[in-house]
Amino acid sequence: MSLKWTEVDAENSCLRLEDSKEGASVRPVGLSVLDMMDDLSRDEHDTFVFPGTVEGKPLVGFPKYWKKVLKGTILEDITPHVLRHSFASVANDLGFTEATVAATSMDF
């Protein structure tokens, strides 16, 4: 949730994370993600892709927000963690190596 606009490398279809669980890392992203990010309103003062209600701070309360958005849908019981594992399982079934899957799955 603390992704900064300076970490978004649209030209190379990746996120260049300054600080992840593994330290600095590069995470490839699909064009659909970049298209979605183009649709986000971006103020010249915004540092974060998902700005919070306090200027200069990222969005907080993601788990609560996630539940609110999915409430009453068939995805209501799906968590970001389950989504990540589903992504890894499908990628594995498609023949991607473990290293490739690990490099492309975002840490939720």
Tell me if residue 25 falls in helix, strand or coil: strand
Residue whose token pair is 């499908």: 90
In a structure prediction context, what are the per-residue pLDDT tens digits for the chain, which is 108 residues long? Answer: 888 999 999 999 999 998 877 788 888 888 888 888 887 767 666 688 888 888 888 888 888 888 888 889 888 888 888 888 888 888 888 898 888 777 665 543
Buried b (16+ CB within 10 A) or exposed e, 21-59: eeeeeebebeeeebeebeeeeeeeeeebbebeeeeeebb
The residues facing 15 across adjacent strands are 8, 27
pTM assigned to the model? 0.62
Residues 6 or more apart whose CB falls under 8 angstroms from that of 20 comprise: 27, 107
Whether residues 11 and 41 fall in one domain = yes
Whether residues 42 and 87 fall in one domain = no
**Phi, psi of 17, rounded to the nearest 5 degrees:** -75, 130
Whether residues 42 and 73 fall in one domain = no
Whether residues 70 and 92 fall in one domain = yes
Write out the residue range of the structural domain in which residue 34 sits.
1-59
